[in-house]
Amino acid sequence: MNKSELIDAVAAKSGLTKADTDRAFKAFVECISEALAKNDQVALVGFGTFLVRERQERSGRNPRTGESIQIASAKIPAFKAGKALKDAVN
């Protein structure tokens, strides 16, 4: 399911117009992105938690030259599924 299919499905279930659903979806994504940028978690009980994980600095290898390189540490967005979502999938 892509973004437009998701918006169509949510609009059909909620009774909202596709335009309203699209604006709500964009606001939802923007709010989550802003919270993660501040290193906050967004917990949706039963669905899951959006969070930021720290990836440690590590050494790697350049595939083109075979030369060893240092890969810097980074903050990575992650999602941890909640119990209700896991149960719905299984």
Residue pLDDT, tens place only, 15-64: 999 999 999 999 999 999 999 999 999 999 999 999 999 999 999 999 99
The candidate with the shortest Cα–Cα distance to 53, out of 77, 71, 81, is 77
Query: In Å, how far from its chain's centre is CA 66?
Result: 33
Give the model's pLDDT for residue 7.
96
- DSSP H helices in the chain: 3-14, 18-37, 83-89
